Amino acid sequence: MKFFLTLVTVLVGTSVFAQSSAIRNQLKKKYTTSESSSLLKELKEVEKIRQRELSIYKNQHFAFKSEFVDENNYFQAQRIERNAVIYFKTHNEMSRMISGVDQMLTSENPSISGLAGQEMVVGVIDGDLAFHRHVEFAKGAQTKLTLLDNWDEKIDEGAVEFRTMERRRSHATHVTGTILAQGVNSKALGIAPEAEAFSYKWTNDMAKMADLGQKGILVSNHSYGIAAVDDKKQPLLPSDFFGTYTTDAVNMDKIAYRYPYLQPVVAAGNDKIYAEIINPTKHGMDLLLGHANAKNAIVVGAVGLGKDGSLRETDFSSNGPTNDFRIKPDIVAIGEDVYSSAYQYRYSTGEVEKTNLYAILSGTSMATPSVSGILLLWQQWAIAQNHFPYKAATIKGIMINSAEAMPFQVGPNARTGWGIINAWNGVQLLEAAKEKKAFIGEEYLKNKEERKFQFSLTEQVNRLSFTIVWTDVEGTYQEKNFQEYTGIKHLVNDLDIRVRKDGKLYLPWRLVDSFGNDPAVQGDNTVDNVERIDIDQPEIGTYEVVISHKGSLINNIQDFTLIVNSDRYSGVQKMFEDVEDNEKQLVAWPNPVEDVLNVEIPTALTFSALKATVHDSNGKRIYEVPLAGSNRQSFNFSSLSSGMYFFQLTGGNQKYQIKFIKK
C-alpha cells in the first residue's frame, strides 16, 4: 500500500538573530510547491500578452508615449485595460523620530535597542534599480544591495533617456535609503540601517513580487502606482477606475495568500491635489488606483508636520475608500520633506557618478519605506525571540493595534487609516505579549467553527483593544467591479470578532457605505480582513472573545491572528480557550476525508522531530513516517480503503491522535 505525504508548512527552529539565509531557506521550502511554480508561470505569461497588446496599440497610435517625466515623477506604460493606457508612476531623520524608531535606540532593553535590521532583507520594486554604489549602501568594499535586473549604463548623454533614467533611478535610491541608509550622513539614517535589499525594476512587478516570496523575503516595498494624470496634468483614466478591485489588486492578493509571510507595502498615491480634475464628484475622496485597492497589502498614506510640530494631513496623499468601502489607506507615515540618498547621472562621457548625493522629496513614496523598515525591525525582534518570523497578517495586526491616532481621530477613516505607524508602540506590544501582559496568537478557524477565548483585564487602563487580521483569498476580477453601490464585496473568507462582558456586546469598527468624509461606526464589518474592537475606560474583569465566520470558508480553513492589548501594554492575561479539554486531541479536516487530510500540528510540537503513524480499526499499524517540525501538514489518503482509521503523532515526549473516516 502506498502512503503519500505532502509537506505544507515547515518551521524548523534555528538559532539566529535575524533573517539569515537559514531562515529564508526554511521559507523557501514552505513555498516550494507546484502551485507556486504555476503562479509564477501564469504571471509571466500574462505579462507577455500585455506587452504584445501594448505594442499593437503603439503601432496604431502615432502620439503614444511609452515613457515620460514631469517635474517630479517618471511614467512608464504597462498595459492596455478597458481601452485605456495604464501607466506606472513613481509616487530620515524626521521619519525616524516621528515613527518612534529613535525611542527604540534609547531603550534599556537590549532586545529592543539592538534592533537595526541586522541580516534582514527587504525587497524593493521601483521604477528602476537603486544606485548600489551610493555611500549609504556600502558594506565594506561591497554593497548592501543585490540588483536583480540589468543595470543600464550605455545611455546617450543629452538624450531623453538621460532625464528619464535619472529620475526613476533617483526615486529608487531615495526610497531604498529611507529603509536602510547606514547614516554616513546622519540626517539620512534609514529606519533599519543594517538591513540589505533586493532591488528590482517594476516591469512585470507581480512576477517579481512572487519571486521575492519564493526567496523567503518578508517585506516588499512598492513606492509606485498607476498614474492618474499625465505630464500636462490631464486625466489618463476614466473616473470609474478609482477604488476599483482591478487585476493589480487581485494579483497582489493572490501572491500574498500564496506566500503568507510576505507583506507587500504599497504607496497610496499623490492624487488628492488633482481630485477636482480626475474624480470631481467625490470631493477629495475615492482616489486609490490599482494595487492600492488590494486587501492583503498595507496601503500607506503620507502626513506632514505643521509649523507648531503637530501632525497634519498632506494636500497630496490619496484618500480612499475602495468601492466596497474597505478601510484604505491602512496607515500613514511621514512623507513630506523626507531627506534621503539620491542619484544623478553623469553629465559627460568619462565622468564618474557621484556616490554621496542626497535629496529632499515628498510623497506617499517617501512614507511607504518608513513602514517597510519598521516591519523589518518587528520581524527581526520576532526571529530573535521565537527563532522564526511572524506571518504577514500578524505584523499587519501589530501595526494596526499599536498605531497612534492622528489629532482628533476616533477610530479608522478613509484618509489616514488607523493612524500613524509607531515602531516604539509596536515593540512594546511585542515585549508585553512575551511577558504575558498582552496577547498575540496565530490561530486558525475551520469551516462552520466558532472559537472562544477568555481574557482577564487586571488593572485600570484607558483603552482595551481586540484585533483580528487574516490574509484573505484573492477576490474576482470582473467588469462589475468598476461600478459603485452594487453591493459587490471582495472579501472572500468573512471572519467576525465579537467581545462580550457581563452581557454587553462590543462590535468592530467599520466605514459607512459612503464616499463622503464620514466617521467610522461600530457594527458588523463585512468587507475588511482587519477587524478591531476598542473599549474605552474598560472595567476590570473577564472578557470573552468569539471568532466566527459567515457562509463557507474557501479551502475549509482560514488562518488569523488575534491580538489583545491595552494602551498601557500591561494588564491583559489570557485565561483559557473554549475548546475540547483534551490537549492531546489533534485538529484535522475534512473528516470524513476523500483524499487529503490536513492536520494542524500542536504548538508544543512545532519545532520538534515528529513521527506520524496510521492504524486501522483493528489497531494494525499500516504506515509510519518521520516528519520535520511544522505547524500544518497534509496527508494524501487516496489509496486507503474506506473505513475508520487512527492517525497518531508523537514527538517531544507527547502523543496526539485523531480518529478519521475514509470515504
Q: Express each pLDDT in 334-386 by its tens digit.
A: 999 999 999 988 766 667 788 999 999 999 999 999 999 999 999 999 999 98
Predicted local distance difference test score (pLDDT) of residue 579: 43
pLDDT surpassing 60 at residue 605: yes
Q: Specify the higher pLDDT residue, 610 or 244.
A: 244
Predicted local distance difference test score (pLDDT) of residue 279: 95
Q: What's the CA gap between 258 and 252, in Å, rounded? A: 10
pLDDT surpassing 60 at residue 524: yes
**Cβ atoms of 565 and 572 closer than 8 Å:** yes
Q: What's the CA gap between 76 and 226, in Å, rounded? A: 10
Q: Which three cell numbers stand for residue 86?
A: 495604464
Architecture of domain 68-426: 3-Layer(aba) Sandwich (3.40)
Percent of all residues in the chain with a pLDDT value above 70, rounded to a whole number: 89
pLDDT band at 601 (very low <50, low <70, confident <90, very high): confident
pLDDT surpassing 60 at residue 4: no
pLDDT surpassing 60 at residue 402: yes
Predicted local distance difference test score (pLDDT) of residue 573: 94
pLDDT surpassing 90 at residue 90: no
Average pLDDT over residues 390-406: 96
Average pLDDT over residues 510-528: 93
Query: What DSSP string runs through 313-367?
Result: E-SSSPP---TT----S-EEEE-SSEEEE-----SSTTPPPPS--EEEE-SHHHH
Find out whether the peptide bond into 329 is cis, omega within 30 degrees of 0: yes
Which residues face 646 on adjacent strands?
615, 659
Q: Specify the higher pLDDT residue, 594 or 418.
A: 418
Predicted local distance difference test score (pLDDT) of residue 561: 97
Q: Specify the higher pLDDT residue, 450 or 38.
A: 450
Q: Specify the higher pLDDT residue, 115 or 397.
A: 397
pLDDT band at 41 (very low <50, low <70, confident <90, very high): confident
Q: Where are the domains of the chain?
A: 4-12+582-662, 68-426, 450-577
Average pLDDT over residues 410-425: 96
Q: What share of the chain is helix, strand, coil (3-state, %, to 5)?
A: 25, 30, 45
Predicted local distance difference test score (pLDDT) of residue 580: 40
Element (H, E) at 370: helix 364-386
Architecture of domain 4-12+582-662: Sandwich (2.60)
Cite the DSSP H helix spans in 197-269.
205-214, 247-258
Element (H, E) at 165: helix 160-180
Average pLDDT over residues 84-96: 69
**Cβ atoms of 491 and 524 closer than 8 Å:** no
Q: What's the CA gap between 469 and 528, in Å, rounded? A: 9
Average pLDDT over residues 256-277: 95
For 471-508, write each residue's pLDDT tens digit.
Answer: 999 999 888 888 888 889 999 999 999 999 999 999 99
- Phi/psi region, residue 197 (left: phi>0; alpha: psi -120 to 50; beta: rest), is beta
Least confident of 112-116, 138-142, 499-503, 631-635: 631-635
**Cβ atoms of 395 and 20 closer than 8 Å:** no
Predicted local distance difference test score (pLDDT) of residue 88: 78
Least confident of 12-21, 323-332, 375-384, 650-659: 12-21
Q: What's the CA gap between 295 and 189, in Å, rounded? A: 31
Element (H, E) at 103: helix 101-105
Q: What's the CA gap between 4 and 58, in Å, rounded? A: 52
Output phi, psi for 455, to 5 deg.
Answer: -130, 145
Question: 3.40.50.300, 3.10.20.30, 3.40.50.2000, 2.60.120.380: which CATH number matches 450-577?
Answer: 2.60.120.380
Residue of 307, 285, 311 lying closest to 512 (CA atoms) = 285
Element (H, E) at 108: none
User: CA distances (Å), 408 to each of 313, 326, 585, in order?
Assistant: 12, 21, 49
For residue 21, give every residue at least 6 positions away whose Cβ sits within 8 Å of its Cβ, in sequence order, or none.
Answer: none
Q: What's the CA gap between 64 and 70, in Å, rounded? A: 16
pLDDT surpassing 90 at residue 96: no
Predicted local distance difference test score (pLDDT) of residue 166: 84
Query: What DSSP string runs through 608-631?
Result: S-EEEEEEETTS-EEEEEEE---S
pLDDT surpassing 60 at residue 44: yes
For residue 245, give every residue at least 6 positions away whose Cβ sits within 8 Å of its Cβ, in sequence order, or none.
Answer: 293, 322, 323, 324, 475, 477, 481, 490
Least confident of 504-518, 570-584, 624-638: 570-584
Predicted local distance difference test score (pLDDT) of residue 643: 85
Residue of 244, 20, 224, 226 lying closest to 117 (CA atoms) = 20
Average pLDDT over residues 80-99: 72
pLDDT surpassing 70 at residue 628: no
Q: Which three cell numbers stand for residue 62?
A: 502615432
pLDDT surpassing 70 at residue 554: yes
Handedness of CA 521, 524, 527, 528 (dihedral sign): positive
Work out the angle at residue 73's Cα, subtended by the Cα atoms of residues 72 and 76, and round it to the nearest 5 degrees.
Answer: 160
Q: Which three cell numbers stand for residue 296?
A: 492583503
pLDDT surpassing 50 at residue 595: yes
Predicted local distance difference test score (pLDDT) of residue 479: 86
pLDDT surpassing 60 at residue 14: no
For residue 504, give every residue at least 6 positions away whose Cβ sits within 8 Å of its Cβ, in sequence order, or none.
Answer: none
Predicted local distance difference test score (pLDDT) of residue 9: 30
User: CA distances (Å), 209 to each of 205, 262, 328, 350, 469, in order?
Assistant: 6, 9, 21, 36, 21
Average confidence score pLDDT of the chain? 87
For 429-447, write each residue's pLDDT tens digit.
Answer: 999 999 999 999 999 998 9
AA identity, residue 537: Q
For residue 85, give every residue at least 6 positions away whose Cβ sits within 8 Å of its Cβ, in sequence order, or none.
Answer: 57, 64, 77, 236
Least confident of 54-68, 128-142, 213-227, 514-528: 54-68
Percent of all residues in the chain with a pLDDT value above 90, rounded to a whole number: 58
